Amino acid sequence: MINPNIPSIDQLVELALPAPVSYAPQTWGWWTLLGLLVATLLVWAARRYWVWRRDRYRREALVRLNQLHASNELSALRELPELLKRVALSIPATHASPVGASLLAMRALYSKTMLTDRTPSRAGSLPQENPGALTGEDWQAFLAKHSPTPLPADFSQQLATLAYAPDATLLALPTEQRQQVFETCRTWVEQHHVAV
């Protein structure tokens, strides 16, 4: 005999699935951590974008330097000193110095000069903010100050020769010396310090 209390397969019902698990954080600590992470990423991205925009002059100078190096002409050598001056003038830190700091520096320098000597010496003169006005040793010191790698001791003299020497002198320069000047200029443009 068949027992009538035995369940049949027709009586089986599919079980309801539980609600899906939410991937959203369940506590405020995780929301805070997520907010800090997003804020950090936004600050980092804004900083990278600001540096990228600030270094636009450097990228343009490197493009021009590559063009000059590719053209093996006398005018390319003559343009190198001008290109470095334009890059130096474009350095953001040379134009924007805190007013209070520069006024305090001027006051300290003037008071030091007045106490020690009535005739200002070359060492006691005010530092020039405009790199376009620098020549000779001052230009060499500016280039060396902003360069992470040592520059040749006569680099500013080499640049002056390129700018003002007669064509015959430039044509007589050995190829290795021309290459060295181009590489020194490229290294300086790529790696010069910019105060933040």
Per residue in 39-78, pLDDT tens? 999 999 999 999 999 889 999 999 999 999 888 788 888 8
Give 129 or 35, the one with higher predicted confidence: 35
Higher pLDDT, residue 102 or 51: 51
Within a domain: 70: yes
Q: Could you give the CA distance from residue 59 to residue 55 in angstroms, rounded to a whole number?
A: 7
Q: Report the predicted TM-score, pTM, of the whole model to 2 decimal places.
A: 0.62
Neighbours of 10 (CB within 10 A): 5
For the chain, the domain total comes to: 1
More confident residue, 26 or 126: 26
Q: What is the DSSP string of 165-179?
A: S-HHHHHTS-HHHHH
> Are 58 and 51 a contacting pair, CB within 8 Å?
no
Asked whether residue 39 is domain-assigned, the answer is no
Which pair of tokens denotes residue 12? Answer: 């089986």
Residue 185 has pLDDT above 80, yes or no: yes
What band does 21 get if pLDDT is binned at 50, 70 and 90? confident
pLDDT value at 182 more than 50: yes
User: In whole numbers, what is the pLDDT of the chain averaged over residues?
Assistant: 78
Res 115: pLDDT: 40
Closest by Cα among 86, 96, 84, 98 to 147: 84
Q: Which of the residue ranges 20-34, 98-112, 161-175 would you say has the lowest mean pLDDT?
A: 98-112
**Amino acid 135: pLDDT:** 82
Instruction: Encode pLDDT of 112-168 as tens digits.
Output: 433 444 433 344 343 445 777 888 888 888 888 888 888 888 888 888 888 888 888
Residues in the chain: 196
Domain residue limits at 74: 56-89+133-191
With a cut of 50, say whether residue 100 has pLDDT above it.
no
Q: Which residues of 40-52 are buried (b: 16+ CB within 10 A; e: fewer)?
A: eeeeeeeeeeeee
Which has the closest alpha carbon to 139: 67, 87, 62, 174? 87
Residues 6+ apart with CB under 8 A from 179: none
The average pLDDT across 171-196 equals: 86
**Domain-located, residue 13:** no
First to last CA, the chain: 95
